Structure 1
Amino acid sequence: MKVELFIPCFVDQIYPQTAFNTIKILEKAGCEVSYNSKQTCCGQPSYNAGYWEQAKEIGSKFLTDFSEQKYIVSPSASCVGMVKNGFNDLFTNSMVHNKCRNIQSHIYELSDFLINVVKKDYFGAELEGKAVYHDSCSALRECKIKEEPRRLLEKVHGLEMSEMKDTDMCCGFGGTFAVKFDSISSAMAEQKVNNALEMGADYMISTDLSCLMHIDGYIKKKNLPLKTMHLADVLANGWLESTPY
């Protein structure tokens, strides 16, 4: 199965190891992964800020950078959600309408792809400790992902998963929301972290590094005993170098 890898801007610039782990997981699942180094942004920051013309320009490049036939997989439900939903506002009834629809039907967040397309939920990962899962707004509401990451995490050796209170409540990031409404955003992160600590969690795991970046900022500021991890980093954790694909 041939797969094109879509790595969002902030993953490329801040969390490149998650991108490499995504490749490792896809290859272990039997996929042939290709990466177009000319790819850039999906246009979500401009779109969310109301600059739709700029978002359309960036989105048009996205539609050029990726193919209509192959699966496109990304370790970000937020950016996948933008393509699946935000692109409707930008390209419906345009000259690239059909191309956009084809790409929308082939793009997947990582856990959604592994469970529903590849149909594989075990990768031999190991991680000791207790963990909670954070449902990002984009994963839950835009990509309709809920059980997929939980099924994958259940198969991680040594990891004890618990459901925290208000797991589907926003963490407070929301892109520019965190900048424009700093106090509200911080209070939402505080609530999310406190809910995790009440469960005795060592880790908070999610499909979205944007959420985890925001939550981790609060954790480090308060020097709290909680770590954040992206799903891909968990699934690639504990592998032996000699483990065959």
Structure 2
Amino acid sequence: MDKKVELFIPCFMDQLYPETAFNTIKLLSYAGCDVTYNSEQTCCGQPAYNAGFWDEAQEVGASFLESFTGEQYIVSPSASCTGMVKKGYNDLFTQAQGHTNCRSVQQHIYEISDFLVNVLKRDYFGAELVGTAVYHDSCAALRDCKIKSEPRQLLSKVGGLEIVDMEGQEVCCGFGGTFAVKFEGISAAMAEQKVKSAQAVQADYIISTDASCLLQLKAYIDKHDIPIKTMHLVDVLTSGWANI
């Protein structure tokens, strides 16, 4: 029997990486899930929350919670937004009374690599991508969602792809939402450090489960015309599907 999944697509991906969102549906469907998407879903409130505007974040978060039943799996191709719901909502919605749905949503929401490996118990999807890659551990995935081995397990089954470690593997890329705006110089230097670490191991690709990190790194790569491509984990796992 197919697992019913409610899809949560973050604003960032909706506006800048819609193809990754469609690939998420393809991947989950291929994995045997019955996927539904509520087009009325809103931002989870993370930008306001991180900026210290908790009242506004709570208002946005309340609208977000109305978009999901809290009775089925909720899957997102973003560790950052998943982490916000799992942890940030503990600050915004503190009273049990009136926030039952919040607690249920928190219990049912998963970042996609976590869901594929730990819920569906699947790690092979027939993907093919030739080259050498490094996996960037986003801060949210590593620290908020405790995700580390899952993306690597999935990538290890991609035909033609070699995953190598780089120096500063768990160091932030410098995005950090508003951090990149408030501290532009520091942010750019952190992106430079990450990209140079990837260059040092001759990586063709930098892969991550957070599109925001990839945008940060791609900006530096494009500015300096560096021959490295950034890819979301979902896009890698659906690569080479033309013959399937």
TM superposition score normalised by structure 2: 0.98
Residues 39-72 of structure 1 show CA distances to partners (whole Å, capped at 9, x for unaligned) of 1100000000011011000000111000111000
In structure 2, the partner of 1:199 is 201
CA distance in 1, matches of 2:187, 2:97: 39
Equivalent residue letter for 1:153: L
Distance, in Å, in 2 between the alignment partners of 1:64 and 1:24 is: 25
CA distance in 2, matches of 1:2, 1:207: 22
- For 1:59 and 1:111, the matched residues in 2 are separated by 24
Which residues in structure 2 correspond to 1:70-219 (within 5 Å)? 70-93=72-95, 95-219=97-221
Q: In 2, distance between residues paired with 1:97 and 1:130?
A: 46
Within 5 Å, which residues of 2 pair with 1:17-32?
Answer: 17-32=19-34
Greater displacement, 94-103 / 144-153: 94-103
Alignment of 1:10-21 (within 5 A): 10-21=12-23
Deviations, residues 139-190 of structure 1 (Å, cap 9, x unaligned): 0000000000000000000001101111110000000000000000000000
Which ranges of structure 2 fall in alignment gaps of 5 or more residues? none
Q: Could you tell me how far apart the structure 1 residues matched to 2:201 and 2:191 are?
A: 16
The residue type paired with residue 194 of structure 2 is: K
In 2, Cα distance between equivalents of 1:35 and 1:83: 18
- SS of residue matched to 2:43: coil
Tell me how far apart the structure 1 counterparts of residues 49 and 103 of structure 2 sit (CA, whole Å): 18
Counterpart AA for 1:165: E
User: Helix, strand or coil for the counterpart of 1:131?
Assistant: strand
TM-score, length-normalised on structure 1? Answer: 0.97
Q: Which amino acid aligns with 1:126?
A: E
Percent identical: 66
Q: Once the two structures are superposed, what CA deviation does each residue of 1:122-148 show, in whole Å capped at 9, x if it has no partner?
A: 000000100000000000000000000
Q: CA deviation at 1:10?
A: 1.0
Alpha-carbon shift at residue 95 of structure 1 (Å)? 3.7
Alpha-carbon distance in 2 for matches of 1:31, 1:67? 17
State the SS of the aligned residue for 1:65: coil
Residue 223 (structure 1) aligned to one of 216, 225, 232: 225
Give the secondary-structure state (helix, strand or coil) at the position aligned to 1:113: helix
Q: Tell me which amino acid in the other structure corresponds to 1:161.
A: I
Look up the SS of the partner of 1:108 in the other structure: strand
* Structure 2 Cα separation of the partners of residues 96 and 204 of structure 1: 43
Deviation at 1:92, TM superposition (A): 1.2
User: Which position in structure 1 is the counterpart of 2:59?
Assistant: 57
What is the rounded CA distance, in whole Å, between the counterparts of 2:24 and 2:105 in structure 1? 20
The alpha-carbon deviation at position 98 of structure 1 amounts to 2.1
Letter of the 2:82 counterpart: V
Provide the secondary structure at the position in 2 that maps to 1:240: helix
Q: In structure 2, what is the Cα distance between the partners aligned to 1:204 and 1:68?
A: 34
Q: What amino acid does structure 2 have at the position aligned with 1:110?
A: I
RMSD between aligned alpha carbons?
Answer: 0.8
CA offsets per residue over residues 94-142 of structure 1, 9 Å max, x none?
5433221111010000000000000100000000100000000000000
State the secondary structure of the residue aligned to 1:185: helix
List alignment gaps of at least 5 residues for structure 1. none
Residue identity opposite 2:174 in structure 1: G
